Each structure stands twice: as C-alpha cells, then as structure tokens.
C-alpha cells in the first residue's frame, strides 16, 4: 500500500508508555494527529485498520555491518536493509569497516549514494576514526548521512584502530556527537592470542577475548570520556565486570555522557554450550560468555543501566565461517531476528514492553540525535513497527532475507511476529511482502545533541 494521506488504526497503539486504542492521521510521511478509536476520522481519508496488532514507534538498529562496498558476497545495502525491515527496523546505522573504509568525505558520500533509493528503510553511516583523520572528526561527523563517529579500541580492520590512550583522547577531543566504541583492549588481545596458540575449537573463543580484555578497555574509555567530556556509547558489552563499571559511575553520567548497548546474542546464548552446539555459528567479537555474565547483563538491562539493543549484524558466508577455528571470521547476522527474539522475551514476561520500546526506539533517537523518531505523537515521522502478538512461528534460514543465508537461532520458536514495517507513512513490508520500490534516504541528525 502506497498512500500519502490516510488513517492508521489499532486497538493497541503505543502512546505515552501504554498500548491504547487510537487512530493516527498520516499526511506527507508525518503523524498529523492522534484520534480516539471511536472518533470521526477526516472525511475522505482511507483507513488502514490493523485490528489487535501493536503499533509501536519505528525501531532502529544502531549497529549493522552491511558489507557494501567491498564484500557483496556476504551482504549489500539492499539485502541488508531488506532483512532489517523484515525484522521491524525502520532505520539502521551502519559501521565503517567496509572496503574502502568509511574515513573521509568521499567514502561517506559513496555510501550515501549507494543507499539512497536502494535501501528499504532510512539510514545513517558512522565515520571511522583513525590516527590520520582524528583531527578532522569534528568536520566529518556533520556531513550529510553521517550519524557519528566509530572507534575501534581493538580487533579492527586496517587503520580503524586506536589502541593507545593518546590516540583515543585525540579522537574524542574533536567533535560533539556521541562516539560509538568497540571496547576490547588491543594489548590484552595480543597477549592472549600468543599465550593460547593451542586454540583449535570455537570453545576457546571466550578465553582468547576474556572479560579482563573488555574491562580494561571500558575502564580506559570511561577515563578518556571524563577527561575530554565527550559522550561515548559502549557497543556490545558482554561481562559482569563491565556492568559493575557502569554501576559505579556518578549519578547522571550513566545515560548522559555514557551510554551502553547489549545484543540479543549475548543475552540469549550461553557458553560453553553454544560453542558445542553451534560451533562456528556462535563465534563473534566480543564473545558469547558463561551464565554468570549473561545473568549480569539481564540484571543491568532490567534495571535500566543499558540504553540500547543493537544487532551487531555482521554476516559472513557459510563457506567462510566453516574454516577451521581460529581462521574463520567472527560475526553473525541478526538485524532480522533482533526484535522478534526480544519480543518473545516480552511476551514470556522476562522483559517489559516499555523497556523494549526504549531500547529500540526512544533511546536510539535520543542518544544519536535522530530527528523526528522515537515516539508516536503529532509532528513525529510516521515510522511504525507493527507486531502481531498472537502469532507463533519459527526462525527458518530458508526464509531469511540476509544474503548470508544462516542464523544461530535457526529453528527457534518465537511468540510475536512483525506484520508491518512503515517508513515515512509508506508500508515497506507487510506479512512477508515488500513494497514495489525501495525509497530509503539519509536520516536527519541533530549533531549538537
């Protein structure tokens, strides 16, 4: 359905923290007004009535690797965004470790051009921080289509590595927007790799990248953030030790200058069982850890110490992943299954719907300054993620949209299914069917937030 002006109604629209009966008047890609369910809609406007389905604010995946340019056999912007909208995502923020790296005006402009009109939802791209461009990051982060800066403290690609504190502080000192950080300590990574040369099975992965590796990096990052005053967002946290560092922050810093992210993989998979059962499918960086860490993540998530869920969608082909450990690349797909996996947790009573909406809609918009997103209210973008809470289904690799064609959650039965994804008022996905034309465009960002 492609309409510029219409009404969208349901018995369960997410309004000010509740699911309420309502009808939304949509004009020109924006919510014009919110009406009571039994009120009279403007004359002449068609009504898309979604019955009992939940109309939620448009969800955002703030951490994806769509591999274009450079690695089309794994994924590209079209296929990755198709997977995203099938999973209920109305926008994505994509990482800079492509080929070439996204580290200057030309590489960013190339990505924006590739994505515009090809992606199924709207988008932003991170600018990668390097030793060479650190002094220019304040200029690069405000370019059209740029959502901010990404720093790799360890486990990086090419020049995308700021392993020492001087380089880290230099990058944080240039610019204003929140910086996303992969926080693993490069020195510790190298020590562990040298000490564990006998590693020959994925079960070794959490030892090659142990909790101390994460704790050291996060501790250094927090110190650099305090010194420079720069807001930082710590990606894919994995350990109990990191959660303790978050809790020790002064009141107002956590959720302000410092924000934190988890992935569904680290919440739902557990070592060592996942490495024995899934083998290479369970290998990602940072690694899936043991139960004591997983429970610490859940506790932090429920108490509000975590602000965003990101998929860390990082696809590789089955052939690549099937190489002997540790030569196989790390990473797994996830943008299409992130919301379904976590909605299942909501419907099973393990997580509140209010927390899920905050993690995937409200906080991404607030922390990354995404204009017009995060709430269902007049004047906001008409971006909606619609879920059928009564539907049960199973993850099936044969039906996934990602080009890599596999998932660590294959066969898992879930409650709740994405029925519609609506971007700027246009239904781009409806019960397995896509719109006739992709119309994705760059998001608008408030870089002074």
Residue 231 CA from chain centroid, whole number? 18
Collapsed DSSP state (helix, strand, coil) of residue 112: helix
Question: What residues contact residue 185 under an 8 Å CB cut-off, 6+ apart?
Answer: 153, 154, 212, 213, 214, 216, 217, 220
Structure tokens given for 410: 């294959």
Beta strands in 5-46 (DSSP E): 5-15, 18-27, 30-36
Question: If you ran DSSP here, which 8-state letter would residue 154 be given?
Answer: S
Closest of 236, 230, 256, 262 to residue 148, by C-alpha:
230
- Give, in order, the Cα–Cα distances in Å from 202 to each of 187, 197, 238, 403: 21, 13, 17, 24
Structure tokens given for 250: 């002064």
From the list 61, 210, 312, 388, the catalytic residue is: 312
122 among known catalytic residues? no
Reported as half-sphere exposure (CB side, CA atoms, 13 A), residue 77 has a value of: 31
Per DSSP bridges, beta strands 89-94 and 122-128 are parallel
Query: Left (φ > 0), alpha (ψ -120 to 50) or beta: where does 50 sit?
Result: alpha
CA distance 264 to 400: 17
CA distance 38 to 36: 6
- Give, in order, the Cα–Cα distances in Å from 48 to each of 37, 330, 383, 422: 13, 43, 15, 12
Q: Residue ranges of the alpha helices (H) in 196-280?
A: 205-208, 211-228, 240-247, 264-268, 273-278
Question: If you ran DSSP here, which 8-state letter would residue 250 be given?
Answer: P
Residue 89 CA from chain centroid, whole number? 9
CA distance 151 to 230: 13
Collapsed DSSP state (helix, strand, coil) of residue 27: strand
The counts of H helices and E strands in the chain are 15, 17
Closest of 56, 54, 58, 27 to residue 42, by C-alpha:
27
Q: Give the active site residues.
A: 312
């Amino acid at each position: 359905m492609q309409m510029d002006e219409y009404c969208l109604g349901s018995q369960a629209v997410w309004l000010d923290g509740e699911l309420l009966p309502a009808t939304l008047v949509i004009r020109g890609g924006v919510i014009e007004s919110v009406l009571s369910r039994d009120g009279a809609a403007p004359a002449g406007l068609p009504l898309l009535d979604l019955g009992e389905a939940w109309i939620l604010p448009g969800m955002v995946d703030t951490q994806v690797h769509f591999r274009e340019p450079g690695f089309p056999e794994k994924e590209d912007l079209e296929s990755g965004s198709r997977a995203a909208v099938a999973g209920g995502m109305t926008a994505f923020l994509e990482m800079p470790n492509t080929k070439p790296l996204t580290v200057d005006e030309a590489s960013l402009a190339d990505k924006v051009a590739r994505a515009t009109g090809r992606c199924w939802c709207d988008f932003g791209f991170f600018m990668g921080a390097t030793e060479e461009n650190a002094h220019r990051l304040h200029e690069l982060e405000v370019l059209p289509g740029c959502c901010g800066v990404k720093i790799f403290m360890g486990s990086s690609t090419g020049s995308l590595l700021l392993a020492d504190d001087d380089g880290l502080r230099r990058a944080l000192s240039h610019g204003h927007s929140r910086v996303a950080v992969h926080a693993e300590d490069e020195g510790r990574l190298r020590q562990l790799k040298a000490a564990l040369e006998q590693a020959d099975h994925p079960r070794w992965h959490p030892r090659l990248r142990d909790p101390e590796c994460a704790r050291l990096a996060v501790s250094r990052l927090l110190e650099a953030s305090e010194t420079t005053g720069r807001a930082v967002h710590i990606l894919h946290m994995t350990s109990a030790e990191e959660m303790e560092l978050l809790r020790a922050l002064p009141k107002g810093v956590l959720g302000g200058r410092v924000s934190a992210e988890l992935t569904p993989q680290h919440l739902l998979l557990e070592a060592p069982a996942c490495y024995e059962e899934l083998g290479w499918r369970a290998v990602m960086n940072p690694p899936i850890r043991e139960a004591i860490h997983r429970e610490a993540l859940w506790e932090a998530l429920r108490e509000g110490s975590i602000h965003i869920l990101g998929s860390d969608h990082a696809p590789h082909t089955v052939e690549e992943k099937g190489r002997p450990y540790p030569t196989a690349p790390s990473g797994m797909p996830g943008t299409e299954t992130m919301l379904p996996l976590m909605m299942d947790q909501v419907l099973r009573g393990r997580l509140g719907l209010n927390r899920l909406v905050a993690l995937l809609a409200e906080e991404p918009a607030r922390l990354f300054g995404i204009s017009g997103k995060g709430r269902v209210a007049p004047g906001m973008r008409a971006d909606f993620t619609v879920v059928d809470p009564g539907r049960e289904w199973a993850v099936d690799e044969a039906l996934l949209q990602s080009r890599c064609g596999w998932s660590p959650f294959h066969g898992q039965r879930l409650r709740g299914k994405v029925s519609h994804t609506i971007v700027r008022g246009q239904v781009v996905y409806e019960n397995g069917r896509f719109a006739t034309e992709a119309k994705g465009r760059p998001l608008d960002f408030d870089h002074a937030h």
